[in-house]
Structure 1
Amino acid sequence: MTTLFVFVIGIAIGSFLNVLIDRLPKGEAITGRSHCDYCRKKILWYDLIPVFSFLILHGKTRCCNKKLSFQYPLVEIITGISFTFIIVIPNEVRNLATEGGVKLFDYALLDPSGIALRMTMLGIVSCLIIIFFSDLRYHLISDYILLALFIFSLPAVALAKEGPLLSILFNSLASGLIVALPIFLLYYLSRERAMGLGDVYLSAIIGFILGWKSGYIALYIAFVTGAIYGISLLLLKNRKLKSRIAFGPFLVIGLVTMLFWADKIYGLIDMIYKY
């Protein structure tokens, strides 16, 4: 029952994340009733039920029968699963990758720091979902969401790493700058054709959260997955060589991979070096 409740809360929050994904890149206010993107009519409340309304309407708008983006139920389901994964199945969400994969969460039920870290992780994951889909769809990462991601990462890093607080923050900030440097050089030398400024900021936050070693591995994962995606599009003839591909989603993939599976990635690296 707890699992179902958390999942329902998650998909409801996912519905709000969809609002942010669609409105922030357009500069629209996030308050006010939802409206149809095609005819601008107000959407009735019973057509806003997460996931179910999309299924009932067969993926089309009620007012003008236009096709809805599959993004809407996908974001809601991913958010619901993520919230369930973090809150109900805590043993699976145990590593914040720093230099060697330090445990992020202490999940004793009455442990205040464990509860605080769960909440910060929910915030981090929500921001990453927004960044992934907004950059994928609009090629834009909102500065507000990047700032929110950085704010959520502050307590996560402070609680997860041992040592004096000022030392932790200084080392994390330095790591952020180190990881962001190659992305900034690509941004600067290509005159924004290869990278956007949002990618620079996001890579800095990745370094801040992960540390510079794991941060560079996250960048490597981002470049590899991005290259695979780009080559696939070229082979399918859906893109030209000059077509722009959003890099933010792949940075998110790299960060999430190192957040949850850093120990496995380091184990794989050790195994490769042994051979």
Structure 2
Amino acid sequence: MIYPFVFILGLIFGSFLNVLADRLSKRKTILGRSKCDSCNHELAWNDLIPIVSYMMLGGKCRYCKASFSIQYPLVELFTAGVFVMTWYVSTEQLLLPRSSVLIHIFHMAIAAVLIVMLLADLRYQIIPDEMQIALLLIGFLKIMYVGVVFGQSDILQLMQMVGQHIILGVAVMAPLLAVFLLTKGRGMGFGDVKLTFVIGVILGMVSGYLALYIGFVSGGIIGALLLVTKRGKRKTKIAFGPFLILGFYVMLFFEPEIILFMSRIYGF
């Protein structure tokens, strides 16, 4: 079975993506060994085994006994779960003429980038440009690969496809860009605007708008719950990126089901 391997791979990547989100958000180099935040001691390889090291050390640094955040094992488990679900859904939703491991790899790469974006925005309300560019490049590669699989091997045709997707990205980005300009950045961050462009490039216009719809609805629900439970106020800032990421992920893998569901509700 491939899924235990994918789960373990997710645990390993979860540890790396956690560090990547922190270092990119703090503008630190992504190179170099991990260190304890309290004593600054470099962590050995046996301190960094996903889940196992945290449990064996009781969630504490081997050297200074300071407690590690529970977020580390939680992110590792979350990433493993996302990887397994992504692989499974990619297998079920694959509509290409022949099964392709490359498509699975593209989807896993997209999932990994989205997790880094999610962590960075939740912690620091920043969506690193490096991840936006990485996601865009993965999207372009997938678009061209699918074109080749369907027989469009001419380079001009492939470039035309990419150009069309760029136009769709601009169309999806336009409403949020207008909100950003009208509110002078008070309504949302420019990182969210850039993310909608990438979403439009990869998903297209209809699915891109539906991803935004899911993002706005889910964000509104969470905002309302925070108000009702008095855990937030009307002026409490809520990162919008995680909800956009949720909408993007849902539409990427459940596009036919969501479009069918929406058409039944709204009759389009």
Q: TM-score, normalised by structure 2?
A: 0.88
The answer on whether the counterparts of 1:61 and 1:67 sit within 8 Å (CA) in structure 2 is yes
Q: Distance in 2 between matches of 1:167 and 1:23?
A: 36
Say yes or no: does 1:53 pair with 2:53: yes
User: Alpha carbon RMSD of aligned pairs, Å?
Assistant: 2.3
Specify which of 162, 173, 187 is matched with residue 194 of structure 1.
Answer: 187
Q: What does the per-residue CA deviation read over 1:212-240, in whole Å, with 9 as the maximum and x for residues that have no partner?
A: 11111100100111111112222222222
**Aligned counterpart for 1:121 among listed residues 100, 107, 113:** 107
* Residues 113-262 of structure 1 mapped to structure 2, 5 A cutoff: 114-160=100-146, 164-262=157-255
- Indicate the residue corresponding to 2:39 in structure 1: 39
**CA distance change for structure 1 residues 180 and 274 in 2, over 3 Å: closer, same or farther?**
closer
Of structures 1 and 2, the one scoring higher in RCO (CA 8 A, sep 6+) is: 1
Structure 2 counterpart of 1:8 = 8
| 3-state SS of paired residue (2:43) | coil
Instruction: Name stretches of at least 5 consecutive residues in structure 2 with no aligned partner.
Output: none
SS across alignment from 1:24: helix
Distance 1:168 1:92 in 2: 25
Q: CA deviation at 1:66?
A: 4.1
How much has 1:271 moved relative to structure 2?
Answer: 1.8
Partner of 2:265: 272
Q: Percent identity?
A: 39
CA gap 1:89/1:73 in 2 versus in 1, 3 angstroms: same
Query: What's the offset of the Cα at 1:67?
Result: 4.1
**Secondary structure of 2:26's match?**
coil
Alpha-carbon shift at residue 261 of structure 1 (Å): 1.0
- The one-character-per-residue Cα deviations of 1:81-135 (angstroms, maximum 9, x if unpaired) are 33334446753343xxxxxxxx3x5553xxxxx2222222121111001001110
List structure 1 segments (4+ residues) > 6 angstroms apart after TM superposition.
Answer: none
Q: Which ranges of structure 1 fall in alignment gaps of 5 or more residues? A: 95-102, 109-113
SS in 2 for 1:193: coil
The whole-number CA distance in structure 1 between the counterparts of 2:2 and 2:163 is 40
Question: 2:90·2:107 contact (CA, 8 Å) conserved in 1?
Answer: no
2:182 maps to a residue whose letter is L
**Matched residues in 2 for 1:174 and 1:235: separation?**
41
Residues 21 and 120 in structure 2, CA contact (< 8 A), matched pair in contact too: yes
Q: Which residue identity is paired with 1:23?
A: R
- Which amino acid in 2 is paired with 1:28? K
- Give CA deviations for 1:162-217 in whole Å, capped at 9, x if unaligned: 66323321221111001111111222222222211111111000000111111111
Query: What TM-score does the superposition give when structure 1 sets the normalisation length?
Result: 0.86
Distance 2:224 2:61 in 1: 34
Matched with 1:263 is 256
Counterpart of 1:246 in structure 2: which amino acid?
A
CA distance in 1, matches of 2:214, 2:228: 21
